[in-house]
Structure 1
Amino acid sequence: MRDLKAMRRKRNLMSIEGLAFKAFQAEAFLVALSPTAATIAMLISFLLWLICWKMDDDVHFRHFSFDKPLLVFVIISGLSVLVSPDKAFSFYNYYNLVGAYAITYIVAGQLVRTEERLRSILEAFAVSAAIVVLYGFYQFIFGIDISAMKWVDGNAFPELSKRIFSTWENPNILAGYLNEVICMVFAFFVTLEDKKAKWMTAGMILCLVACLAMTYARGACLAIAVVIGLYGLVKDRRILAGLFGVGFLMLLIDPMLAERLSSVFTQTDTSSEMRLALWESSVDMICDHPILGIGWGAYWMVYPEYDFYINDATVRIVHAHNMYLNYAVEVGVFGAAAFLWYFFGTMIQAFWKAPNSDNSSMLVGAFRLGIGLALLSVAFGGLTDDVLFNIPTSMLLWMLCGLGAAAREITPQKV
């Protein structure tokens, strides 16, 4: 009788664990489409996994290489709330955002333990990305006037009145997301041996690149070109020819894109000038608050004290437009160092055994290569922007990092 009850209990716990994974899969699908729905799915997944972890002796918490710097970052970020000009706001912002990021990382690392589950997550990502791209094309074809929005200097680019943002908040955030997806698909393109599959992934990359071009996000376009170019230099020079070919075609089709990209190297528009001014002000903030920073999420509150460029109290600047400076400003140099240790450590680890390693299957190897390239694109993109201030973008990053850690532990399935 006891054995029957134990079997029934075990079966119920396995069902709960399966539901937890389904909820996590829903989060992976929804993160690019509906942040609120993705957050709900995340909480359901975490609560169900927590039940299994507490009640099932066979469910053990897995520790990964960069859990410690991640924990240091979470603790220092929490302590930074104590020095914020508005502690209530920073605490609310901290436990909502950092809590969501940490939970997403934990659930990804604990629930994805097999190649089959990793494949299911990739399928959810793929369907979601397809919806984002299709909606982006819809916006571009049927028109979306952004002349009244502050995404581009109308004086410097008077002819640019259309920048897509699809399901994301603005074109720059969409571009950061597309870069990560391009990196993931590109990793499968260079890993797959089947010619038909290669052509399919090549078509996907072209659609993603076209959608990226429609954002006219200068930093993101240059960042993905550098990432793919570096891969070509290190691994396969033929990739460079493809990169130049696609780039030349895009610029030929849309001269405005060429004008936007060339403006990166000048200060002819207020967007470039503003970034330089923000960075100078951010450095001053770091020098004045090096230990715990100015407080989590407090950039918009403190910036007016260091503003020498905009001089308009009604303009709200929420981040430094540089990932590295923004973390150092808000949580101090030690908090920023902990995050970068976790971030770059995860990236290097993803590259360490990419894709032809004897210890990984093609799927796992390609996925890990994609994680490494995606994080590299974030690293380059972070030089000119900080898309991680956006909640779903950060959730996606921490999800990828958790999946990258989990993928390292997956062994090939025997046929």
Structure 2
Amino acid sequence: MSNSVWQQVTFGGLALHQWREVSYLHRLLNPFRQWRQASWLLQWADWIALLLVALIFALAPYVSTTLIGVLLIACSSFWLLLTISDEAGDGLTPIHLAVVLYWGVMVLATALSPVKVAALKGLIKLTLNLLLFLLMARTLRRPQLRTGLITVYLLSALIVSVYGLRQWFFGAEALATWVDPTSSLAGTTRVYSYLGNPNLLAAYLIPAVMLSAAAIFVWPRWLPKLLAGVMLGVNTCCLILTFSRGGWIGFVGAGFVLLVLLVYWWSVHFNPFWRRWALPVFIGGAAAFLVVAILALAPLRSRVASIFAGRQDSSNNFRLNVWAAVIEMIRDRPVLGIGPGNDAFNQIYPLYQRPRYTALSAYSIFLETAVEAGLVGFCAFLWLLIVAFTQGLTQLRRLRQLADVQAYWLMAAIATQVGLLMHGLVDTVWYRPQVSTLWWLMMALVASYYVASSPKTWRINPQ
């Protein structure tokens, strides 16, 4: 009984393919489907979609946000073209329904926003990201395309990380005050590579570390596996050298989840002793390594200690003051918030800010969601996370029974989501396009594995 209720809460019992088969709207689009069948170019639709999406992840660290926006518009337009000319069949997942619910709440928040024009700009940015998710979720269902897109991102991230390591060895000018000038790390180089901000770089590299670890198992032959190992080491070192405390928290959280999922995956081959003790041994070993590294390296030890310094650390003090103002904003508009986007935030926040503590965001994705869309939007966001993680673990169990090597990408995606959420507890680089596109890539990866488990439930009457 409880399992049935949970399936309904997470949309697990819906036969979504049946909705498209009986949808009147889908029948009205029949002329477009006939046109698509006659189109030579759209026979290569999935590859064209892959090219458009790959351009985003190949260029994102190096180009302006304006160009990223243009590419997002191109992806959105192509998704619309494919959707109106698509045949009835698979494609919709429970994650899609949760995403639509989340977007609908954001539309309401925009309509009721005290700064509607600014909120509309934020809604447009969010919509472009969600349309990118929709295009990726349908394209990545093919393992070949899934692996291809991940490879493009990993190769681009490798260039970013190599340049970051170069900054560490040869020095780099600090473009902002990223370290408390009174701390022992005041003269330490924090690498930022092509992204211009070490916190942003750390968030960008969390998926790279997890996916490069997965690539070791997915990519065939030893030479690609060796390249994946090099990527794992380079990306990890560069992430650590950002000295981003939020990035470190996300890295540790993502690594822990990936380790747990790997042990779960391999446990079918363990003897009874290791089935019981493998997870404690792996976690204990990883924890011991972290402790030794922190104790042995003075810069690392100092940076970790600053996490617990409270208001004595200038960065901590800044965030605490911003969070206090944001909580007051939420209290004044608790239902649907002020509307999405940093433009809306920048118009309302000055009315609440503490003197000398200007901010462009809430410095927490959870507070940011609550201030943008109120408690209704916050609940919709949590629902989206619950549905996504439920589907991810459900499909992982299925792939485990099939011993499908593609499951390693799924494990990396789930771990990355946890890592970005943990980083997002204390920062909002998640809303920068270089990172937001990666978040929706992880969501699309999880959705791309969906296989309906019960096509006979929730039948839809066409009458």
Normalised by the length of structure 1, the TM-score is: 0.85
Contact 1:53/1:60 (8 A) holds in 2: no
User: Which residue does 2:325 correspond to in 1?
Assistant: 281
**Pick from 155, 160, 164: which aligns with 2:182?**
155
Shift of 1:108: 0.5
- Paired residue type of 2:371: V
Out of 91, 103, 109, the residue aligned to residue 120 of structure 2 is 91
Residue 387, structure 1, aligned to residue 429, structure 2: yes
Which of 285, 288, 291 does residue 335 from structure 2 map onto?
291
Aligned to 2:439: 397
- Structure 1 124/193 Cα, relative in aligned 2: closer, same or farther at 3 Å? closer
* Length, aligned pairs only: 398
How far apart, CA to CA, are the structure 2 residues paired with 1:358 and 1:258?
Answer: 43
Q: What SS does structure 1 have at the residue aligned with 2:412?
A: helix
**What amino acid does structure 2 have at the position aligned with 1:274?**
F
| Deviation digits for residues 312-345 of structure 1 (CA, Å, limit 9, x no counterpart) | 3xx5311111111110011111112112221342
* Contact 1:28–1:38 under 8 Å retained in 2: no
Q: 2:173 aligned with 1:130, yes or no?
A: no
Aligned to 1:15, which of 22, 29, 44? Answer: 44
Structure 1 match to 2:232:
205
What is the letter of the counterpart of residue 48 of structure 1?
Answer: F
Residue 218, structure 1, aligned to residue 248, structure 2: no
Q: Secondary structure at the match of 1:180?
A: helix
Match 1:324 to one of 348, 366, 375: 366
Distance change >3 Å, CA 150–CA 122, structure 1 → 2: same
Distance 1:352 1:199, change over 3 A: farther
Judged with a 3 Å threshold, the aligned counterparts in structure 2 of structure 1 residues 349 and 7 are, in CA distance, closer, same or farther, namely closer
Counterpart of 2:400 in 1: which secondary structure? coil
Task: Structure 1 unaligned segments of length 5 or more: list them.
Answer: 411-415
CA contact (8 A) 1:232 1:238 kept: no
Tell whether 2:72 aligns with 1:42: yes
How far off is 1:289 after superposition? Answer: 0.8
Quote the residue 1:265 is aligned against. Answer: 308
Using a 3 Å threshold, how does the CA distance of structure 1 residues 87 and 9 change in structure 2: closer, same or farther?
same
Contact 1:324/1:383 (8 A) holds in 2: yes
Shift of 1:223: 2.8
The equivalences for 1:13-412 within 5 A come to: 13-34=42-63, 35-55=65-85, 58=87, 62-95=91-124, 97-146=125-174, 149-157=176-184, 159-189=186-216, 201-229=228-256, 231-232=258-259, 235=263, 236-240=279-283, 243-244=286-287, 247=290, 251=294, 254-267=297-310, 268-297=312-341, 298-308=344-354, 311-312=355-356, 316-354=358-396, 357-359=400-402, 361-363=404-406, 365-409=407-451
Q: Confirm or deny: 8 A CA contact 2:413 2:446 kept in the other structure.
A: yes
Task: Give 5+ residue unaligned stretches, structure 2.
Answer: 1-33, 264-278, 453-463
> Matched residue of 1:362: which SS?
coil
112-121 or 242-251, larger mean C-alpha shift:
242-251
- RMSD across aligned C-alpha pairs, in angstroms? 3.1
1:137 is displaced (CA, Å) by 1.3
3-state SS of 1:156 partner: coil
Indicate if the aligned counterparts of 1:113 and 1:409 stay in contact, CA closer than 8 A: no
Q: In structure 1, how many angstroms separate the alpha carbons of the residues matched to 2:368 and 2:84?
A: 38
Partner residue in 1 for 2:461:
none
247-256 vs 12-21, which deviates more?
247-256
TM-score for both structures, normalised by structure 2: 0.77
Q: 1:8 to 1:264 in 2, by over 3 A?
A: closer
Q: Does the 8 Å contact 1:213/1:250 carry over to 2?
A: no
The aligned residue for residue 413 of structure 1 is none
Give the Å deviation of 1:244. Answer: 4.4
The whole-number CA distance in structure 2 between the counterparts of 1:7 and 1:92 is 33
The corresponding residue for 2:276 is: none
Cα distance in 2 for partners of 1:233, 1:127 equals: 26
Superposition deviation, residue 233 in structure 1: 6.1
Cα distance in structure 1, aligned partners of 2:39 and 2:351: 59
Q: Distance in 1 between matches of 2:422 and 2:340?
A: 23
Q: Deviations over 1:341-381 (max 9, x none)?
A: 21342133223343751346202x00110111000101211
118-127 or 339-348, which moves further after superposition?
Answer: 339-348
